Structure 1
C-alpha cells in the first residue's frame, strides 16, 4: 500500500496508534476485526486524531515488534500470524502490522471467549459481532453456506419436488437456455436433496424453493407518498418459493411505476419509466446474496423519486465495496445461486451491479447508488422526476393506481377521466373494470378483482364502496359466501 493511502487517514482497513497501549486488548480488537472481515493494517507511531507522524523510538523498535508478534499470537484464537515491518516516513520510523483476511473464522480474543471476543470491522471501527454474524463467520470458516444445511424434520413431498423440477424447466425455456428434463435425481446431484439411511432429506435451499416454511423468507413491497416512509400508499407481502416471490415483486414494481409510449413512425412503442432489466437484477441479487441467518426480510420500496431494494446482511466473506462495484462476487448461498443460474435468472457472476448501472445509463437516469451497512445491503435506482417533454405520454402506469403515487384525483386511476354512464351515475374506468369482473363472476372476491385488474386491494375496496353508495352495486349475503349485484 502506497504512502498516500496508508497515511491519508483511518478507514475500514487502516487504524493508527501513537504507541502500543498498555493493555493489548485495545488493539487486539482491531487485529481480530481485520481477520474476520477484509484484512487491514495497524500502524504504530501515528496520532489517530491529527494524523501526524510521531514515529517509534529506534532503540525500542525491534523489542516492540517482538512484543506485538507475541501478543497477537498468544491472544487470538485461532492463531493469527501478522506481517510486522518497520517503515520510514518523513525521516521517522513507524511499525506497520498487516493482518490478512483469515480463512479459519471466526477469530476472537481468547481471554473473552467467542461470544464476547469476536469483532468485525465496520466503517473504520471495530465492533462486537452480533450472534447471527458469528454464526455466519463459523460457516465461512467451515466453507459451507446456510442453504446447504439439512432442514431437520422437514418432509419432502413428491408433489413439491415435481413442481420444482417443472418450474426449473419452464424458466430455462423462457430464458432461451437449452431444454433438458430436470428430474429428482438432478436435485440430488445439485445437493438440493440428500440421501441418508434410505431417507430423503431436504436442504434449506429445497425448503426455500418449494414453500413458505421459514417465516423470514418473504419479500415486503410498498409504495410511499413522497420521498420518505411517512405515508403508505400500498403494500404487499409475498411468500412461498423465492423465485415466485421475485416474479411477484417485479410485477408489483411494474404496476406502480409509469408506463409510457413513444411514437416511432406509425408504430407506438410502450416502455416503463425504469428499465425492467435493472428492476429484475436488483430483486434477484437481493435474494441470491441475502444473509439467511438474519430473520429480517427483503424489502422493495417505491418512492416518488427512487426504487430501493434492501437485503439483510452486509458484504460477504471480506468482499469490499470497491470489489462489488468492479464486478467481483463471492457467493453467500451456493445452492440457491446454482438453481438461479440453472433457471437463467443469473447470467454472469458479479455482473449485477454493473448491469443495473448500464441499464440506468441507457434510460438516461441518474447513476444508481449502493449503500453497504454491517447488517444490510441496499441498491437505489433513481426515477426521472421531471416530466418528459419528448413526445412520450408517461402518465398512466402499468395497471396500478396513478393517483396513489402522485396524488391525482384522490386515488382514482389517471386514465379514468373518460367516464361511462351507468344507472344515471358516472363510473370511472377503474370502476368499469370492477363491474366487468363482477359481470363475469358475481361470486368473485374483492381480492381476486384486485389481482385480475392489477390494482391495490385498497383501491378496489374504495371504488366498490363508492359504487354501493351510488346504488350502482349491491352486496348480498355474507362476506365469504355472498354475491354481487349490478343494479341496472
Structure 2
C-alpha cells in the first residue's frame, strides 16, 4: 500500500505480510464474521491509519485457508453492504483476490477516513489498539478525531472556469475595509496577492468561498448554491403559490438581502404598541430570520448540488438546508451553543460581510427571541430543516 491507496501485490509480497502477523494495519479473517463485527473493524481502521483485512487466513495460526469462488462473491457483496449501511458515514473499500500457494486470499484495503469519527448504527466509535480495537469514550479523544480529519473542505475547492477578473472589486474592497480598516489602495498590495494570502484563490482560480462572496459569475458557475423562496396560501406544498422567487442570482450578500426582502413582503406586520400610529414589526422577529438565513448560507453542505429552500406556509416557515448535521453534532449540541465549522474559510470571511455573530450563539439567540422553533436533522434525505411556527 502507498499513499493510502491499494496497489496490486504479488504472491511473495503478500506472503511476507502474512508472515509478519497481525498488527495495527493488518488483520486476518478466516471467513466472513458477523456483519456488526466486520463494521467495527472497518470503523477502527477508518478512524486510525487505515490498513488491510486478509480473508482466507486463520487469525490464530496464520495458516492459509483460501476462499471458493462462491465465498468470494458473497464476501464482496457483504463488504459493500456493511461499508455502506452499517458504517456512518459510509466508507469506500478496495478489494482484490490474490492466489497464494493455491489459495485465493481476498485483500480488503481500508483507507484512513477523511470524515472522522466513523461510527456504527448505535453511534459507537472504534479505533485500532495494536492488532486489536477499542471503543472511544473520551470527549478529548473524539475532539482529536475531529481535528485530524484530512478531507478537503468544500469551501476551499477551486472552481474551474473562474478567474480573478470575475471579482466584484467594490464588494471585495468593502470586505477589506471591514477586516483591515484600510482600503486595497491603502494596503498597497495587488488584489491577486491579497486573495492568495487569504486562501481565496490559487493559480488564478477562485475557490468556492471567493466565488460565493465576491464573484460576478457565481450564478453562472454555481447557480445551485443559492436560495429559492416561495410563499404558499395554505399549510401544504400543493396549495396555491402566492409569491415565488426563482434561484436568486448574485453573491451571498445579495442572496441574503433578497431573501430577507422576500420574507419581508410575505410576513404579517403587527403594531409594536397599542397606539394608533404605532410602528409595525414582523409577526416573527426580523432577527430570527437574520440569524437562521445566515446560518444556512454559512453552514450548509456545499458538496450537495442543491439550493436552500425558504417556504412560507400559512401556519409556519420552513428553511431547508442541504446536508445533515456534520459528524457528532446534534440538535441538543446546537441548542447549547456547540458548533462545528463545516466551511471554515467561508465562516472566517463571511463574518466581515454578513450580520454573523458567531461563537455558536445564533441558534440560542433565535430561540430566546422566538421559542416556537423546531429543528429536524433529516439523515435519510440528507438535509437540515428549521420550522418556525406562525401565530395564526
Gap change, CA 1:327 and 1:31, over 3 Å in 2:
farther
CA distance in 1, matches of 2:120, 2:383: 12
Residue in 2 aligned with 1:270? 280
Alpha-carbon deviation of 1:180?
3.6
Contact 1:205–1:336 (Cα < 8 Å) also in 2 = yes
Residue in 1 aligned with 2:345? 335
Residues 206-245 of structure 1 mapped to structure 2, 5 A cutoff = 206-209=210-213, 210=215, 211-212=218-219, 213-231=221-239, 232-237=241-246, 238-245=248-255
1:187 to 192, 195, 208: 195
Q: Could you give the per-residue CA deviations for residues 88-117 of structure 1, whole angstroms, max 9, x where no partner exists?
A: xxxxxxxxxxxxxxxxx97555656679x9
Alpha-carbon deviation of 1:224?
1.6
Gap change, CA 1:347 and 1:122, over 3 Å in 2:
farther
- Aligned Cα root-mean-square deviation (Å): 3.8
CA distance in 1, matches of 2:304, 2:224: 8
Contact 1:228–1:303 (Cα < 8 Å) also in 2 = yes
Residues 307-346 of structure 1 mapped to structure 2, 5 A cutoff = 307-346=317-356
* TM-score, normalised relative to structure 1: 0.50
Alpha-carbon deviation of 1:75?
3.9
Residue in 2 aligned with 1:377? 384
Residues 119-138 of structure 1 mapped to structure 2, 5 A cutoff = none
Contact 1:75–1:110 (Cα < 8 Å) also in 2 = no
Alpha-carbon deviation of 1:323?
1.6
Q: Could you give the per-residue CA deviations for residues 401-455 of structure 1, whole angstroms, max 9, x where no partner exists?
A: xxxxxxxxxxxxxxxxxxxxxxxxxxxxxxxxxxxxxxxxxxxxxxxxxxxxxxx
Q: Count how many residue pairs are aligned between Structure 1 and Structure 2.
A: 278
Alpha-carbon deviation of 1:140?
8.0
* TM-score, normalised relative to structure 2: 0.61
Alpha-carbon deviation of 1:309?
0.6
CA distance in 2, matches of 1:34, 1:123: 14
Alpha-carbon deviation of 1:25?
3.1
- 5+ unaligned residues in a row in structure 1: which ranges? 1-20, 40-71, 77-104, 127-136, 386-488
Alpha-carbon deviation of 1:275?
0.8
Q: Indicate the SS of the match to 1:301.
A: strand
Residues 420-435 of structure 1 mapped to structure 2, 5 A cutoff = none
CA distance in 1, matches of 2:201, 2:353: 17
CA distance in 2, matches of 1:33, 1:222: 42
- 5+ unaligned residues in a row in structure 2: which ranges? 1-30, 55-88, 96-107, 125-144, 186-190
Alpha-carbon deviation of 1:186?
3.7
> Whose relative contact order is higher, 1 or 2, with alpha carbons under 8 Å and at least 6 apart?
2
CA distance in 1, matches of 2:340, 2:92: 23
